[in-house]
Amino acid sequence: MQQPVELLRDRLEHAFAIHTNRLNELTLRGSMTDPTTFEARVEAARRGIANTAQALRRMSEGTYGRCEACGTTIAWQRLEAVPHARHCSDCR
Ligand SMILES: [Zn+2]
């Protein structure tokens, strides 16, 4: 049975766009809240962009869904919950 990876690709692309918009907004508005909160938000957006971009790259390379630590196939339920997951539930 073929897994609907395309659904996850859509979700990842959507998440990537959201994180990118958020980072743009933060950068445009500058630090209006306290610097610690601002830095944390920028960092969260950057991490979100990196996570989703890496997952999309793994999809195009054909390594998506494989645990980077033990090489096992990551459970579908885990990928559905965390589409950018790089490790199986045992290795995370
Ligand atoms: Zn593993």
pLDDT over 70 at 71, yes or no: yes
pLDDT band at 91 (very low <50, low <70, confident <90, very high): very high
pLDDT, tens only, 38-70: 999 999 999 999 999 999 999 999 999 999 999
Delimit the domains of the chain by residue range: 5-81
Give me ligand 1 centre to Cα 66, in Å.
Answer: 8
Q: Pick the more confident residue, 78 or 30.
A: 78
Tens-digit pLDDT profile for residues 19-36:
999 999 999 887 677 888
Cα 60 to Cα 30, 31, 52, 87: the distances in Å are 35, 36, 13, 18
Neighbours of 25 (CB within 10 A): 11
Distance from the CA of 81 to the center of ligand 1, in angstroms? 16
pLDDT-derived band at 3 (thresholds 50, 70, 90) equals low
Beta-bridge mates of residue 73? 66
Residue 2 pLDDT > 80: no
**Distance, CA 45 to ligand 1 centroid (Å)?**
26
Q: What is the pLDDT of residue 1?
A: 46
What residue type is assigned to position 27 of the chain? T
